[in-house]
Each structure stands twice: as C-alpha cells, then as structure tokens.
C-alpha cells in the first residue's frame, strides 16, 4: 500500500478531517477541499447556508456495530451506493460506547447529524469516535483470503487444500455422514444426535451420545452466541459448549463477583467513576486497552486528567499508553513483577488494616437498615461471626441467629458495639469489627467464633509488609505511599482491574481488590466505583422470552450429564460414588474438576477430548473461535487428537476466515462479518443498560443457497435442524405473546422478533419519522419488518434501528454522595464468602477458604512451581498484554498490519545488560517444559525488573499467511501476516495432571498465562 492510498484510507490522515465531521459549505468549497486533499472522500452530507442538511446522493449512511474487538461499539457506516461498498466508519452519536455523553434517543437523526457538523461549532464536542481498529475493520469485508463459499477439505487435515461444494451438498454430508473423504465411514450428525444411548459406559454421568457433539462459539457476539447456544443446548441437547472466556479474563470477573455476592456463580467488574474520583489505582488494565471501550472511557479519563485534584497510579509490568506523559504530575507507573499482583494488594490491605485507615463505621454496619442510619447505600458482612470449631456442622460458615435464639436460620450473628450482646445481623445498630471468642449455643455446645474482619486481619498478616514487598518487587515506601493516598479521599477512590492478571491466583487477586474497595466504601460512591458498565438488555430483562415473542417456546431437548471439561460437583459424580462404595479414598479425583462455576471452557473441553476422558468427541462445530491460537499452552497438548480422524471423525467450522484452529476442519461454512450481520449486543464501554442493534447494511459476500438465501451460521443451523427434524428452528419454532406459533426459516425471522422484544422492553420506544428512516437507511429494511411483525410493533422496532440500538437513560448521575440508584449495585459486599467456603478442592478434598489467599504459584496437586523449576535457571516471570490495535482478527486488516508489523520481546534494560543483550538482538524465550519462542529484543526502562513481556495478536500461521489451494488454484499467502511472535503455544502446562493438561487458576479453572517462569538466551 503506497503512502498516498494509506492516508486516503487511514483515520490518522489530517487531510481527511472532512470524513469525520460533516462539512459546512461556508467553510471551504468542494473545489478547495479537493485541491487540499485530492484523495479524500466526499462528505456524506453537507450543510447549506440556511442550515439544512443535504444528502450526498452517491452515498448512504447506516448504523451498525463494530467487531474490530470484543467491545462491540455502535458505529455509523458510510456506503457507496454504486458499488455497495463501505467507504468509512465513524462513531454512532447515540452510542454510549463511542461518546461519553451520547445524544438523547429522542433527538431526530437529522438533528444528530447537524450536531456532528461544523455548524454552530458543535462538531468537536458532540462527535462520536471509533478507535484505530474500528477505522480499519472495514477492510475485512473484501479480504482476499476471506471464505465466501462452502469448502470441503481435500487430502489430510491441515494441508490447506480445499474444494468448493454446494451448500446443499455440505448440509447433506454433515447430516447423513458416509465415507466422506475415502478414509472410512464417518457418522453424520443424524446418528450422533442420540439422547438415549450413554456415550461411555465407564462414565455414565457424562451423559448421552448427543454430548459427543462439542460446540465452540464466540460469546462476545451476544445475540448470535445466544442463537448458537439455543441450538446446541436447547435444540440439539449437548452440554459441551465452549467459548474463550475461561482463557481470557473470567477469573477477574468471577473473582470480583466473589467480593460482591455470596457464592461463586456471580460476576462483577467495577469501573472508576472518573467524573469525581480523586485517586484511582489501575492494576492489570489500561483503560481502553483491556476490555472497556477506548472511545468513551478514554474521553472520560482525559477529562479527569485535566483536573488538579485527580491522581492515579498504574500498577503493571509494562508502561503503556495511560502513563506515557512524563511531564504530568498526577499519574505514575509502578512496575510490578508479572504474576505478583496479589502480593501488592495484600500489602495494601496489610498496611491499611494494621493502621486502621479503613472506613470504620461503614464496615460496622451489619444490615441495610444500619447502613441507612449512617447515610450509606450498601453494607458488608465484615462483622458476621464465622464458626471456627472444626467439629461443628457450621464450621467455616456463618453462625446463624437461630442457634442463639436471637433470630431465624436465615439471619447471621454479630456482636452489638454498644451492648456487647450477640444479636441478629438484621440489627440497625453498629456491630463490633473485631470478635474472637467462644459462645454457648442453645443446644449447650460451646464453639469458637471469629468475625469476618478479624479473619481478614489475620489473613493479611500471615506475611509481613516487607515480605509482600520483596515478592512483588515494589518498595515498602511506595506501598505505604499508595495506601495512604488511597485512604485520604474518603469514598472518592477506587481500584480497577480487568483481564491483565491471569496468574494461577487470579481469582484471589480479583476478590482481594474488591475487598480493598470495600474497606473504604468505594462501591457505588460518588467518585468511587460503579458496577453497571457494559450491561446489555438481555442481562437485565429476559428479551429472549418477552414481552412480545417467546423465542424459547418450543419443545427443548433433554440434556443430561456433566460437561466433559468437568465443571460441577465432583461428589455427585459416578467416580466419587464408586470410590466411596469400594472404600477407596475419593480424593484426589482422577481428573481436575472445577466445582465453583460451569466454565464453558473450550480449552478444557479439548483437553478432555485429547485424553479420551470421559470420551472423544464425535463431532466439533466451531463458530468464530480460535482456541488453538488463543488458549495458553493448548495446541501442543491437543493437536494430534484433532488431526486424527479416528479420534475426531467430523470437524465443521463456520467462519469468515481460515484460522489456526479451523484450518484442520473437514468443512468450512462461510459466515457474515460486521456490516453484513443481524446483530444485537451489549456495548462494553456503556455505563448502564445499552445494546447495539443492526441489520445488514451491505449485501453479504457469502454464497447463496438454492433458495437465494445468503449462507451464514444461522442459516446452517436452521437447515441442519430441519434436516434432522428437530424442534426450535423451522416450522413452529417459537410463539408470540398470544401463544401463536411463528416459523424461523431465516436469520431475520429470529432477529426481527428479538429486536421487537428489546424495543418494547420496559419503556416502549416511540415511532420514527420518515426522515429518521431515510437518513439512517432503515427504510430499506422496512418491508421486512412489516412482513414479520404486527402493525403496532413495527414503529418502535424501526425506531431502535434508526438509532443503531438503545440505551436506558439513568438521568442525574448522582444522588448526594452516591451514584444514582440506576447505576448502583446495591448489594452486601463480601469480606467473607460463605458460598466459596462450601466448595471443595477436587484434589485434596478440602473446602476452599472463604477469603482470598496469598500464596506462591502451585499446580493442581499443591506442588510449588519453584520446587520443580529452579528460580536461578528460570529467573524471569512471563507476561502478555493487549496492544492498542491488535485483536484476535485484526491480522486480516492491512492497515493494522502496516502500522504494527511485529511485536518484540520486551524486557528491562538492566536485565538485558546483565545477560549481554541489546536492542535488536534475536533471542529465545524458553518455558520450563522446554518449548520456546523467538523474537527481537526491545530493552528499555518501561518494563518491570525480572519480567519478560510480549503483546498478543501476532505470529499468525493462518489467516492467509501461506498459500491456500481451492479447487486446485492457489491463493497466494501474505507473509506480512506472520509478523511477530505467537505467545500462547509455548506456555506452561500442569505436570501434576494426567495426560494433556492446562495450567489453571485453582478456584475457577481459568487458564493461567502470567507469572510463569521462563528464561531467555541470545541466539
């Protein structure tokens, strides 16, 4: 790509300002603009002298969603009417993910566009933005290696040789089976879908043969994910459904959930209230780079940084964009050795608790009524008494009020601060924080009880401040400085994390950060933390079932058995019961179980397949996933079991591209990409309930079937269901609110009804104007809406599409010193999680502790890593991070590849000097298993000591890197896409597990990739 064309297409072109705001003709004439920037695009609109909007007849504009990463921001797309091609992508002014103050949904579309123009100088203040990925992602539509036809492999799996076949032939072959590849008979989906026959009689508790279909899917595509899981679970009847969450950042979300709710099945991920925050700690995250949308959050942070009363620190192994302004005095980078974040959090807890810097009265409130009396909006269980008598049934559980005759079995016990009496936790008075005593119960037994806060103090003092400091390599003086600052601004502080602390103790880390926030009462406070960000309508309302259409109203398949990944209660398993019946100690389990949360972990499902325990899968449907590239340590463990057609007889992929996983597929069904899809998803970056909703704004590039329908994931599942005569897709697939059956023969049959549900949820949206429909191009799909919906349902549904989705307005941001009730999460925050303490570790059979633990890294059996691997031989800790522009699919975007052609092995310059390494050297990073990756050294002072850091998203071996052969013709490879290092394949596994294994977080079974020991050598 030459520089001229690059700037023409690039969002960084200063000459392309006309494409990001709407032009007023009084500024410059068209001729003048053309002279200044001959390669710039025509403006989508212009504003006349009298203030009217004139449509560019050569273009149209439509609202859609971006999938350049998993934030799914709302965008507005400019389309060439002659070529039906996307010209440019900008932010949607109604989208909370691309504008920190989105326009009111009642603002007419025409008025919204006027506000984006230079008219009245509003363009800069009201414009909605997309990031670099969002500006480049349009290139994915016409990628030369995009799959647009149905492919069937020729030769062995992975040889990159394919032939095109008709869609109808593909559906028939995968359903009927046969000798499909001259390799022997292959069971088709029709034979595999057997809900009666046990898949493996040695493991009867893992269910029927139908469970030998494994489905991996993209969970970030919300409504499309729901469509896929609706098929897999409710229509087909398999329990083996996987996604990427457990090898991405689930341990942080679930860990924060443990600090926010009792139990282990909830999720939380609080964010800083930038508008009023005085001091923020970012750890394992950089706003806009790790999950939450750069566009809206970046704007809020930028405004906060302009305030003299706002300070922040970033605790991270590498200096990234948030702290790259050395002249600023309000921001500081604190380097931390990778994998030691928990030590830093425990150090803060240690100093704050020992010096009583916490919010005492807040922590003393045992109930909401008590919290109300002191003006607080939520409370904790810090004062609740935990039974510490091993012989008692309530050991490690809260003492219930009925045991002392002071309340019911649903209430807990606290000690009243004034009277020193044992009282019910529903008390309206303050309770004692520190209790360590014996109490006589009604039945005459005497038990030891300790308050949750006393247990916490004891826990954080198991190590000294100096010990924590040495472990994380952060000076004691710096820890004390941060602790004092964190406790010097009342509740207007917060600590925020995301997906960047994926060590083996990641869940403990996240739980501890939530407790740290609780110590100062930061949750829901003005300037503290809010918990409602990134929430979609489907999370708050049952939009799949109401209010207009029940899309789940069909006869569901009967599912049975544990998932192959072994999520569930081990003590309910056949293995456990057989061992007990034979008088054998049931612990350890033969395989590692996750007893806390059903992960839907694609990596662990494939590990189970590779081990043949409980069985090999007979078929795998992979939609828009790439676990062999993305899951740390997975590929070397499972690749042979995937290539082996005897172990995995049928592998079906649905994807726009051939990636590192589906390159081994037997069949590839082409799928739509952004701007071609029917989509409805939450926006990660919104502060409250918000969805992006869109229809195809350009015609899909995928082939059509004999019914003139574009092939895609949804159409394939519909036609498979029809072929197998399954209920839930096809005829009588759902019902309206009156009980009338509706058919689902095409994607729009489903999504238009889903849109109608969202548009009519809670407050029904109004009807759009004719101008709204035209300016947003929704008039093009109005006939479809009319054909699928009742007359009174069309208007609100069309209105939502004219805005590219909807969000709920929470009104005023604050109620006094707290966030408004709409964006608060009024709950009891957990200092001790009783639900966690009721779950057992599947190796030792011991209950988990109800509080976070700081410990050295260990394998499943408890073996310390440093017992097996000498720190002197492997002195570095490994870490990865997300770069600004790279994402799982961005390698197909030529502008992204041009801007970020490679990554580097990044390390501290002093560490490099001691090893004789300099910038530009080629080196090898070696894991404890002997696997290695090679790359170029970048040594400076922006990396923590004793840490090696490499960004993800590079080093691809698919996506068109090499030549691909289709119908005997070659599609030339693009070698630039192979640039850099792929970091996941070489990472550590768990030798204490049998056979293939992954190194995991012990509580939630999430794949751990940070803090693992490595060494480095010059080549």
Q: How confident is the model at residue 28 (pLDDT cuts 50, 70, 90)?
A: low
Residue 463, pLDDT score: 97
Tokens of 168: 């109808």
CA dist 105 and 126 (Å) reads: 14
Position 673 pLDDT exceeds 90:
yes
Residue 134, pLDDT score: 87
Looking only at the bridges linking them, the beta strands covering 667-669 and 650-654 are: parallel
Residue 322, pLDDT score: 52
Position 264 pLDDT exceeds 50:
yes
Q: What is the mean pLDDT of residues 902-913?
A: 97
The single-letter DSSP state of residue 103 is: P
Position 79 pLDDT exceeds 90:
yes
Q: What is the mean pLDDT of residues 882-893?
A: 84
| Coil, strand or helix at 624 | coil
Tokens of 494: 């917060």
Q: In the CATH scheme, what architecture does the domain 166-248+542-670 have?
A: 3-Layer(aba) Sandwich (3.40)
pTM for the full predicted model? 0.94
**Which residues partner with 654 through β-bridges?**
623, 669
Tens digit of each residue's pLDDT (9 = 90 or more) over 305-315: 889 999 999 99
Highest mean pLDDT among 130-134, 270-274, 407-411: 407-411
CA dist 297 and 304 (Å) reads: 11
Residue 27, pLDDT score: 56
Q: What is the mean pLDDT of residues 831-852?
A: 97
Q: How confident is the model at residue 257 (pLDDT cuts 50, 70, 90)?
A: very high
Q: How confident is the model at residue 11 (pLDDT cuts 50, 70, 90)?
A: very low
Burial class of residue 539, CB neighbours in 10 A (0-12, 13-18, 19+): middle
Tens digit of each residue's pLDDT (9 = 90 or more) over 53-72: 888 999 999 999 988 888 88
More confident residue, 222 or 609: 609
Residue 317, pLDDT score: 94
Q: What is the mean pLDDT of residues 884-889?
A: 81
Token pair 């030549």 is at which residue?
Answer: 963
Residue 14, pLDDT score: 31
Position 16 pLDDT exceeds 80:
no
Token pair 């290695």 is at which residue?
Answer: 932
Q: What is the mean pLDDT of residues 750-771?
A: 97
Residue 22, pLDDT score: 38
More confident residue, 382 or 286: 382
Give me the numbers of helices (H) and strands (E) for the chain, helices first please. Answer: 31, 44
Q: How confident is the model at residue 688 (pLDDT cuts 50, 70, 90)?
A: confident
Position 660 pLDDT exceeds 70:
yes
Q: What is the mean pLDDT of residues 363-384?
A: 98
Position 19 pLDDT exceeds 80:
no
Q: E-strand spans in 708-829?
A: 730-736, 741-744, 805-807, 814-815, 818-819, 828-829
- CA-wise closest residue to 75 among 537, 570, 693, 499: 693
Residue 302, pLDDT score: 84
Q: What is the mean pLDDT of residues 156-171?
A: 97
Position 626 pLDDT exceeds 80:
yes
| Coil, strand or helix at 1010 | coil
Q: What is the mean pLDDT of residues 809-821?
A: 92
Position 17 pLDDT exceeds 50:
no
Q: How confident is the model at residue 120 (pLDDT cuts 50, 70, 90)?
A: confident
Q: Provide the percentage of residues in the chain whose pLDDT is more than 90.
A: 79
Lowest-pLDDT range, 356-365, 418-427, 656-665, 883-892? 883-892
Tens digit of each residue's pLDDT (9 = 90 or more) over 436-475: 999 999 999 999 999 999 999 999 999 999 999 999 999 9
Q: Do domains 166-248+542-670 and 856-1018 have the same CATH topology?
A: no
Residue 154, pLDDT score: 96
Position 916 pLDDT exceeds 80:
yes
- CA-wise closest residue to 602 among 862, 258, 225: 225
Q: What is the mean pLDDT of residues 138-166?
A: 96
Average pLDDT over all residues of the chain? 92
CA dist 451 and 439 (Å) reads: 13
Helix residue spans in 768-831 (DSSP H): 770-775, 782-788, 791-802
Domain residue ranges in the chain: 166-248+542-670, 360-458, 856-1018
Other C-beta atoms closer than 10 Å to the C-beta of 343 total 25
Q: 785 vs 340, 679, 789, CA distance in Å?
A: 54, 15, 6
The alpha carbon dihedral of 34, 35, 40, 44 has a sign of: negative
Position 2 pLDDT exceeds 70:
no
Tokens of 740: 């009338």
The alpha carbon dihedral of 224, 226, 229, 234 has a sign of: negative
Residue 459, pLDDT score: 98
**DSSP one-letter string for 221-243:** GTHHHHHHHIIIIIII--S-EEB
Residue 289, pLDDT score: 63
Give the chain's length: 1019
Position 403 pLDDT exceeds 70:
yes
CATH dotted code for 856-1018? 2.40.40.20
Lowest-pLDDT range, 3-17, 369-383, 697-711, 939-953? 3-17
Tens digit of each residue's pLDDT (9 = 90 or more) over 512-524: 999 999 999 999 9
CA dist 242 and 606 (Å) reads: 9
């Amino acid at each position: 790509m030459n520089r001229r064309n690059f700037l023409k297409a690039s969002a960084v072109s200063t000459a392309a300002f006309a494409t990001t705001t709407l032009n007023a003709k009084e500024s410059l004439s068209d001729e003048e603009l053309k002279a200044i920037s001959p390669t710039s695009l025509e403006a989508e609109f212009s504003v006349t002298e009298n203030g009217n909007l004139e449509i560019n007849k050569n273009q149209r504009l439509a609202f859609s969603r971006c999938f350049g990463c998993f934030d799914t921001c709302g965008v507005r797309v400019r389309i060439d009417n002659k070529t039906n091609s996307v010209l440019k992508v900008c932010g949607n002014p109604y989208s909370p993910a691309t504008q920190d103050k989105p326009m009111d949904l009642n603002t007419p579309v025409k008025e919204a566009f006027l506000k984006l123009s230079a008219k009245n100088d509003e363009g800069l203040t009201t414009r909605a933005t997309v990031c670099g990925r969002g500006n480049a992602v349009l290139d994915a539509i016409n990628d030369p290696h995009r799959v647009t036809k149905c492919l069937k492999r020729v030769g062995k799996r992975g040889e990159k040789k394919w032939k095109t076949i008709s869609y109808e032939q593909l559906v028939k072959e995968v359903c009927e089976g046969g000798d499909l590849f001259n390799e022997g008979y292959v069971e088709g989906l029709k034979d595999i879908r057997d809900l009666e026959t046990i898949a493996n009689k040695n493991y009867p508790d893992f269910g029927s043969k139908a469970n030998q279909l494994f489905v991996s899917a993209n969970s970030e595509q919300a409504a499309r994910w729901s469509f896929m899981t609706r098929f897999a679970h409710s229509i087909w009847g398999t329990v083996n459904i996987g996604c990427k969450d457990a090898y991405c950042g689930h341990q942080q979300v679930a860990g924060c959930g443990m600090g926010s709710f009792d139990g282990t099945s909830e999720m939380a991920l609080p964010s800083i209230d930038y508008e009023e925050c005085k001091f923020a700690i970012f750890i394992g995250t950089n706003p806009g780079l790790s999950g939450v949308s750069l566009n809206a959050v970046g704007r809020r942070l930028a405004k906060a940084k302009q305030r003299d009363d706002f300070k922040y620190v970033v605790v991270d192994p590498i200096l990234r964009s948030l702290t790259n302004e050395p002249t600023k005095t309000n921001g500081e980078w604190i380097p931390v050795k990778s994998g030691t974040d928990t030590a830093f959090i425990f150090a803060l807890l240690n100093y704050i608790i020992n010096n009583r810097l916490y919010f005492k009265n807040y922590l003393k409130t045992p109930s909401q009524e008590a919290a109300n009396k002191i003006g607080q909006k939520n409370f904790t269980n810090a004062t609740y008494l935990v039974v510490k008598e091993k012989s008692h049934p309530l050991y490690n559980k809260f003492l219930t009020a009925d045991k002392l005759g002071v309340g019911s079995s649903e209430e807990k016990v606290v000690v009243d601060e004034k009277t020193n009496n044992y009282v019910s936790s529903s008390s309206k008075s303050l309770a004692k924080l520190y209790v360590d005593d014996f109490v006589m119960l009604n039945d005459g037994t005497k038990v030891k009880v300790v308050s949750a806060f006393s247990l916490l103090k004891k826990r954080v003092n198991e190590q000294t401040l100096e010990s924590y400091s040495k472990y994380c390599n952060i000076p004691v003086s710096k820890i004390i400085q941060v602790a004092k600052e964190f406790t010097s601004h009342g509740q207007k502080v917060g600590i925020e994390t995301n997906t960047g602390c994926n060590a083996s103790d990641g869940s403990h880390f996240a739980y501890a950060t939530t407790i740290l926030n609780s110590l100062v009462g930061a949750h829901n406070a003005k300037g503290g933390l809010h918990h409602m960000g990134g929430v979609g309508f489907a999370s708050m309302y049952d939009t799949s079932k109401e209010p207009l259409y029940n899309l789940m109203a069909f006869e569901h398949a009967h599912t049975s058995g544990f998932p192959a990944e072994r999520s569930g209660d081990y003590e309910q398993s056949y293995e456990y019961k057989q061992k007990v019946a034979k008088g054998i100690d049931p612990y350890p389990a033969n395989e590692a179980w996750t007893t806390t949360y059903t992960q839907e972990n694609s990596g662990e499902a494939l590990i189970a397949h590779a081990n043949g325990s409980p069985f090999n899968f007979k078929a795998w449907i992979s939609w828009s996933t790439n676990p062999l590239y993305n899951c740390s340590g997975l590929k070397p463990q499972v690749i042979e079991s995937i290539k082996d057609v005897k172990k995995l007889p049928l592998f079906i992929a649905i994807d726009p591209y051939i990636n590192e996983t589906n390159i081994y597929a037997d069949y590839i069904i082409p799928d739509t990409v952004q701007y071609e899809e029917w989509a409805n998803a939450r926006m990660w970056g919104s502060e409250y309930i918000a969805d992006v909703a869109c229809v195809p704004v350009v015609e899909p590039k995928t082939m059509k079937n004999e019914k003139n329908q574009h092939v895609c994931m949804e159409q394939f599942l519909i036609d498979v269901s029809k072929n197998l005569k399954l209920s839930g897709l096809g005829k009588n697939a759902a019902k309206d609110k009156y009980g009338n059956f509706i058919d689902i023969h095409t994607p729009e049959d489903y999504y238009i009804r889903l849109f109608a549900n969202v548009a009519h949820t809670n407050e029904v949206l109004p009807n759009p104007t004719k101008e709204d429909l035209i300016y947003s191009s929704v008039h093009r799909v109005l006939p479809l809406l009319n054909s699928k919906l009742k007359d009174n349902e069309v208007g609100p549904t069309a209105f939502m599409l004219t805005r590219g989705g909807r969000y709920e307005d929470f009104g005023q941001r604050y109620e006094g010193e707290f966030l408004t009730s709409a964006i608060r999460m009024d709950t009891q925050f957990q200092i001790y999680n009783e639900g966690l303490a009721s779950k057992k570790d599947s190796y030792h059979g011991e209950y988990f502790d109800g509080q976070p633990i700081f410990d050295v890294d260990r394998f499943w059996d408890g073996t310390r890593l440093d017992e097996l691997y000498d720190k002197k031989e492997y002195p570095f800790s490994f870490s990865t991070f997300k770069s600004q522009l790279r994402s799982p699919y961005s390698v197909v975007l030529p502008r992204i590849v041009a801007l970020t052609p490679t990554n580097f092995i990044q390390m501290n310059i002093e560490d490099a000097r001691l090893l004789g390494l300099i910038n530009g050297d080629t080196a090898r990073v070696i894991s404890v298993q002997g696997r290695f990756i090679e790359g170029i050294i970048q040594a400076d002072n922006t990396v923590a000591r004793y840490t090696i850091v490499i960004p993800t998203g590079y080093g691809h071996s698919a996506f068109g890197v090499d030549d691909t052969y289709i119908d005997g013709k070659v599609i030339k490879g693009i070698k630039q896409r192979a640039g850099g290092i792929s970091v996941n394949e070489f990472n550590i596994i768990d030798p204490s597990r049998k056979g293939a294994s992954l190194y995991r977080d012990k509580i939630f079974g999430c794949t751990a990739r940070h803090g693992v020991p490595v060494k480095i050598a010059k080549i």
